[in-house]
Amino acid sequence: MSFLNHVPIINLRLTKYSSLRVFCPSFERQKDELATWMQISISGQFEDTALEEWSTNGKEPEICEKSPRAEGSSSIMERALCPWESRVNYQESREPKLIAESVCLCRKSRGSTGAFCMPIVRKVPILRSVSCDKSTGYWTYIRSTEMITVGCHSVLPRTQRAARLANLSSDRVAV
């Protein structure tokens, strides 16, 4: 028996099983709901923040060891104290499914001895699909936010005045 004789049976079985699957498309007003949720974000309800602690994913690229260049023909990346790269963040259960995200490439600021590169994060409004209503065939969504890195910038480390030792109890020391 040849392989071609088995193909129609396999297709029939796949067709038979695929008809049993419940299909849940996006609901009709999904774009309107997402637009409304985005408008709430634009109104200033969500603020940009910087992460105080983060770590790079392993070895830093060569650009981190080079000083920034300020020539007229240099790119933004070559002039940046804290270079970054853009990546696409994809999640099937989220609307929008694709979100562009920045990734800081360097831990320390280029061209400066004491500054660090810190990610700037923003709470981005999203819709999260929770469940599929089998009677209607539509997804149920909830409003949510997700922290997305939107850039990187150079910051000096925090400093604070040392507390007087006389004001501290004997069982603790402030560092």
Structurally, the chain folds into a number of domains equal to 1
Which of the four pLDDT bands, split at 50, 70 and 90, describes residue 21?
very low
Whether 145 shows a pLDDT value over 70: the answer reads yes
- The answer to whether the beta carbons of residues 73 and 100 sit under 8 Å apart is no
Diameter over CA atoms, the chain = 93
C-alpha pair distances (Å), 2 with each of 7, 14, 62: 10, 20, 56
Which of the four pLDDT bands, split at 50, 70 and 90, describes residue 38?
low
Note down the domain range covering 44: 23-156
Higher pLDDT, 99 or 140: 99
175 found inside a domain = no
116 found inside a domain = yes
- CATH code of the domain in which 83 resides: 2.10.90.10
130 found inside a domain = yes
The rounded distance, in Å, linking the Cα atoms of 50 and 122 is: 9
The rounded distance, in Å, linking the Cα atoms of 116 and 105 is: 11
Lowest mean pLDDT among 17-26, 92-101, 105-114: 17-26
